[in-house]
A and B are shown apart, each in its own frame.
Chain A
């Protein structure tokens, strides 16, 4: 799985990247575990604990976003034809962003998005604080080791 380009870069760089990926995975695990009841969290967990795509068979055609749903929403909230399409596109984009969004109905999608945003915020807060603390530790002990 090593990127051939990575050999050109200094060793420390790849290590940092690797570590970064692992931290991000950890963060996502934390994110998923923080709200276990939610659809997005279950979808996220499924994604995280699944076997890597390379080992899978040819991926079946993933469930297309609910085509019936999106137009309905657009109809609900906008009257004009061009607006409808715009809104449909945006709702689909949102579906892609929120884990598991593609299989959700629109009202559920909004609900899940709200919860997902909250969880993300908490995650960011924790990571930021952690980074500050570690930076503090680092700067203090930089000379001592």
Chain B
């Protein structure tokens, strides 16, 4: 006898803001009537921290993972023990996204050392002979958009051999790259924009790439562990581009892997940008 259990959220994009209500249905499809010992649904929001093997030892990194921090948790009983008729059964549910106490609902984020994840989990208990069924489904939490309008502060930059922190400064060929970013504080839902101009370069350029980097900091027993990892790297110029012609910088932030800069007592995520031009 087959039965399938599924959770369907009302919103196709599964994105919810704090204070909103997560609504959906539990979908049960079975051919015949089904006996069960109760269906329950739980919602959970957890921050998982993982120590980097670079800052602490390998074994410590493996064993000493920091205890997860629970952000939100609630449980409801969807159905008491009983019978479900055969066919398709939809049981609607709603969870308000409210925190208890002074906890903050952070945005969903999947990083290397920091993971913030929200899940819905549905369990169906059954008799001894049949296995219990369970199904989980992730949903995404975004912060309330900022009320005050951010005034973009454009920034200009210039790259020459002298500005690089490199040991072989003298061996580098001469070049001058100028450019600007339209804002240093970006709205995460909007793309990062700007321009880069190759004013001159002694050797032909092979590629110009844009690197999005995050810095995750985890607090643990021995102090803080800080790690920078690349999120995304996209090429904005390929080959020897025309000199003194503005090349656009444009990057859409990968939503799951970036989050607004976040600082808490226990962990911290900062996103930064690097430009790499290879010759």
Question: Is the pairing of A and B real?
Answer: no
